[in-house]
Amino acid sequence: MNWKHIKPEEIEKESMRIIASELVEQGIQIPKEHQGVVYRAIHTAADFDFAKTLVFTPDAVEKGVQALQAGCPIVTDTNMALSGINKGACTKLGVEKFCYMADPQVAQAAKEMGTTRAVASVDVWAEKHPTGIFVVGNAPTALIRMAELIEQKKLQPALVVGVPVGFVNVVESKGLIWNLCQSQKIPAIVALGRKGGSTIAAAICNALLYQASGRVI
């Protein structure tokens, strides 16, 4: 078999075309404003379930894009997600990105409180970035702590991305943050169910970053 040399951007373009075509074949219509996020999630995982499980509060994408254009920081629960968030797009928009999971002070605080590093990290988020874009791709305990701090008015997120993956407290924590964001009119993008992960979290951030910087899907 003879393989053609295809440029990376052409591979991505063709992948997006295939995703759009297969969604049509499955009878799934994605609202135009959500397509960038949904397509990138599907592209990252090769999993069309995200066309059904990703849910959006009204204007979540628009609000997220506006926040990024205003230089709002992105704070995430894993260094994997942090490294996957496009550095060039962040630099272009003046957006800083943070993760505190490896911070020794977070580790010490978690030990003293008898909790997870994710919970201790969220406490740092409230201290340093109370109005940031909060992106959770791994730890349901981070979503639970976020919900507590939102109710205490210590966090006022510009956007919540809740897509942890797994089996323990994952479905419940996503339901908790999704219901809270809806009731408090906080922009949110959540992957209901068990699926998600740091790569999906980064993909969603990148979809928003690309839109904010004028790049097409």
Q: Which residues make Cβ contacts (< 8 Å) with residue 55, sequence separation at least 6?
A: 178, 189, 190, 191, 192
CA distance 22 to 203: 20
| Cα four-point dihedral sign 71, 76, 81, 82 | positive
For β-strands 188-191 and 54-56, DSSP reports them as antiparallel
Catalytic annotation, pick one of 5, 34, 43, 129? 43
CA distance 158 to 178: 14
Catalytic site includes residue 34: no
Active site residues: 43
